A and B are shown apart, each in its own frame.
Chain A
Amino acid sequence: MNWLHALLIVLVLVAVPLFAISRKLGWNYLRVTALLCISTVMLLPFVWLVCAAFKDRTVMNEFTFVPPIKTWVGDHVRQEVDGNVTFRPARDFAVPPKPDDIIPGTMNVNNFRKLFEVQQTAQGTVTFWRYIVNSLFLTCTGTVVSLFFCSLGGYTLAKYRFRGRSVLLTFMLASLMVPGVVFMIPNWEIIWRLGWMDSYKGLLIPGAVSVFGMFLFRQAMLDIPTDLIEAGRIDGCGEFRIYFSLVMPLVRPMIGAFCLLSFLGAWNSFIGPQMYLQTQAKLTLPVVLNQYIGVYSQQYGIFLAGTLLAIIPPAILFFALQREFISGLQSGALKQ
């Protein structure tokens, strides 16, 4: 019996009078409570992550989430009395403690400070900002480029009838089933032969068209009435113009959904940049942060601080696109 059990029992007990009032109310209460509990569990690792990123390395494992508030700021000295760890303000000592013993407050931004420290590398100095910019550039450019090619391909597959279409579609489906690792070494060789090693070309160009993206758009565009396109043609629009200014604005929710999916995939992609990029100043966030978990030294605090920062851009995008994302997925992709 502990606080968690007590809390759970209380939560269940509250339901009893509510059920007495009305069954509907009772069920509704249970539903929201269950959702609340599940959401809490889902978010707990994030809470832990935030706490850990700000914890001083000396107390990383000391406390599950945060140390006592009174130890957060000011210089402290850690002491062990009968196996219990305590923190005393550094000023409480008659003789000033040795500098080695002092911790600068148990909660601080040292991890972030270290993360943003100027790094000496072979190719000059690099700061963490550079990696953020690299990641943003690769992700955004990749998304925009593949948005263009995928929607164009999807439009073609949805709205044109041409020789070999069904063969092509079957081929595309089959191509989705081949595990990606099969291509790893051959692709590496091709990229190298093309001279795209250590360049963003090697990451952007092979990913410019994805079968998945084309199908997503095809599915959304199947529902666009062909009459509309014919009408556009009679008005004198060129083939490209029809796609660009007539069809695309109609599938705007799908654009949102695609952007989010593509952004998430590219932002977190690890193997590609890891294999193709070499210059330190060109690397992306996942690769750089993974370097902090090395063979001989693991700097978890810095890694977690970086992870926290790396979550922010996709989080903003998801917040902004939540509604479009859901309706995009509904708008055809999943409608039968």
Chain B
Amino acid sequence: MVLREDQIERYSRQIILPGMGGKGQEKLLDAKVLIIGAGGLGSPAGLYLASAGIGTIGIVDSDKVELNNLQRQILHSSSNVGMYKVESAKEKMTGINPDVKVINHNLRVDSKNISDIIRDYDIVIDGSDNFPTRYLVNDACVLNGKPLSHGGIFRFDGQVITILPHESACYRCLFPEPPPPGLAPSCQEAGILGAVAGVIGTIQANEVLKYILGIGDLLAGKLLVFSALDSSFRQVKVPRDAKCPICGENPTVTELIDYERFCSLRKNPFGRS
């Protein structure tokens, strides 16, 4: 691939980075990244990946832009209220960078469609906003061998981990089960400081860029924990769990299920013995 003059100009500030060069830029332009959720995390991730020149970016979201999103979902503007988020996202991302092909997946992922959706991408960013989806995305990525950047936010706190299936810990190695529905308030119920979403989503974009370029150390086997109130960043170790029901020695989860159904089951909903 020969970079055009305008591309050399556009990407000049990263092309000159040590270890990057034209070859690194080509890797980004050839890459395909899927972002699940065009909300608080998906917004900064999408903006930075489009700016960096990721060649193909898929966005999954079935919602429309609402006024209360605009406090933190920086992919969307006041004039987009009422529009489908994937359309608003595509408009913004291609507006920043016409090099980027944005593929809209205007739907919710479920056990039936997710494997087909993630198949063509190199890496997935989880920017969803509920536990059932997070476990589904983790399971789909592990079963399909797809690297995953997981990020989560709540009030003033955020967490990020990079999951390399069968190499590093998956989300279920970290948290085997989600809280029961009553103990898992959404951003709507609990609140979120907008810039916290920015910090975590941007770190996720950073992880994806490092993965594609093959540089630096990923947050694989590590959970980065951010607390906005004292601006602290900590990392804790996340080992692979030999008893993990999906990536452990004796997996009991071998196919995808829609966890929404299982959240109401009392006994052993996650296949763990």
A and B found bound together:
no
**Which residues of B come within 8 Å of A, CB atoms?**
none
